[in-house]
Amino acid sequence: MKAVALTQYLPIDHPESLLDVTLEKPVPQGRDLLVAIKAIGVNPVDTKVRVSKTSVEPQPRVLGWDAAGIVEAIGPDVSGFQVGDRVFYAGDITRPGSNSEFHLVDQRVVGRMPHTLSFEQAAALPLTAITAWEALFDRLRVPTPPHAMPRKTILIIGAAGGVGSIAVQLAAKVAGLTVIGTASRPESAQWVRELGAQHVINHFEDMPAQLAALGIAGADYVLILNDTDRHFPAAARIVAPQGLICTIVENRAPLDVALLKGKSAGLVWEMMFARTMYNTADIKEQGHLLNEVARLVDQGTLRTTLSQVLSPINSANLRKAHALLEQGSVIGKLVLKDF
């Protein structure tokens, strides 16, 4: 089968950073689905893993943790799926990725694709939807269905990116929160408003002052999706007493969590691969929440966050996609389709 892989962990401008390779078609075992890949999403985690080591891989390593496709075969322990099902998922970072014609994935973290979306539209959603859903409803413990009154407020820092684009929708349209999104360019600010944010501020400027100018004293929840080190001090000032901050971005230096003590506020982390990495007892919740996302898409509550499609799926286009992500200017999600 065709695949895009690496053998060395190289800068994206190196011609061997990602390579076109031919691999054996895998065979499903246990709970595995064998999926014929039709489209893949590209995420910052792909770029981080690509430069995460200095070693040389003895065998090609396939990256990619966002996919939509058709079930080709099933393992002996699979139930609830059959050959021909259209599925989408983010997979498991401890296993080979989805940048290949055929891919094995545990059925427990797979959802059925929204009926109203194409493969490329669906491939834009899994990793970011899982991350945003878990951050809001599992880590920040935002209630759903929403409280009637008073309406709570969330600040989403980095709201125009992949995770932010779905988090804004979930917070505004599912949880019923007042959403303040951050964006630094006119086109990204417009995108965030279209997704449902009531207010947009610039995360490169004084965020507490911008909120004060809007008459907003603080936020019950703060979701950091961009540069934790830079934004944590402002988030600590903005978060309300007894509020919560969640971040998905690793910090480079120690964070001064003592800033939160006087408010009895908390800091939590979201890592969407935690369930698959540790095979947690609730691992199947990722499949369930993807099915709920699909339902919300099909009923018109949520929309795909797809913003750009490259075709075909090959090393040249994946190198281009990685380079665009590393520039930090991608709005929404970047997807590749068709081998």
- pLDDT one-digit tens code per residue, 210-254: 999 999 999 999 999 999 999 999 999 999 999 999 999 999 999
Greatest pairwise CA separation for the chain in angstroms:
60
Indicate the Cα dihedral angle 256, 262, 263, 264, nearest 10°.
90
Whole-angstrom Cα distance, residue 306 to residue 120? Answer: 8
Whole-angstrom Cα distance, residue 268 to residue 320? Answer: 33
Q: Report pLDDT for 72.
A: 98
Per-residue pLDDT of the chain (339 residues; tens, 9 = 90+): 999 999 999 999 999 999 999 999 999 999 999 999 999 999 999 999 999 888 899 999 999 999 999 999 999 999 999 999 999 999 999 999 999 999 999 999 999 999 999 999 999 999 999 999 999 999 999 997 766 567 899 999 999 999 999 999 999 999 999 999 999 999 999 999 999 999 999 999 999 999 999 999 999 999 999 999 999 999 999 999 999 999 999 999 999 999 999 999 999 999 999 999 999 999 999 999 999 999 999 999 999 999 999 999 999 999 999 999 999 889 999 999 999
Top CATH class of 129-269 equals alpha beta
Write out the two tokens for 259.
Answer: 């800033």
The pTM assigned to this predicted structure is 0.96
Please, is 11 exposed, middle or buried when counting C-beta atoms within 10 Å of its C-beta (0-12, 13-18, 19+)? exposed
Top CATH class of 2-125+280-337 equals alpha beta
- Decide if 280 contacts 301 (C-beta within 8 A): no
Q: Report pLDDT for 336.
A: 98
Q: Report pLDDT for 149.
A: 61
Domain regions of the chain by residue span: 2-125+280-337, 129-269
- Decide if 149 contacts 183 (C-beta within 8 A): no
Q: What is the pLDDT of residues 296-335, one digit of tens each?
A: 999 999 999 999 999 999 999 999 999 999 998 899 999 9
Packed helices 285-298 and 126-133: angle between N→C axes, nearest 10 degrees? 110
Tell me how crowded residue 320 is: count the other CB atoms within 10 A of its CB.
Answer: 17
Q: How far is CA 151 from CA 175, 179, 236, in A?
A: 10, 10, 21
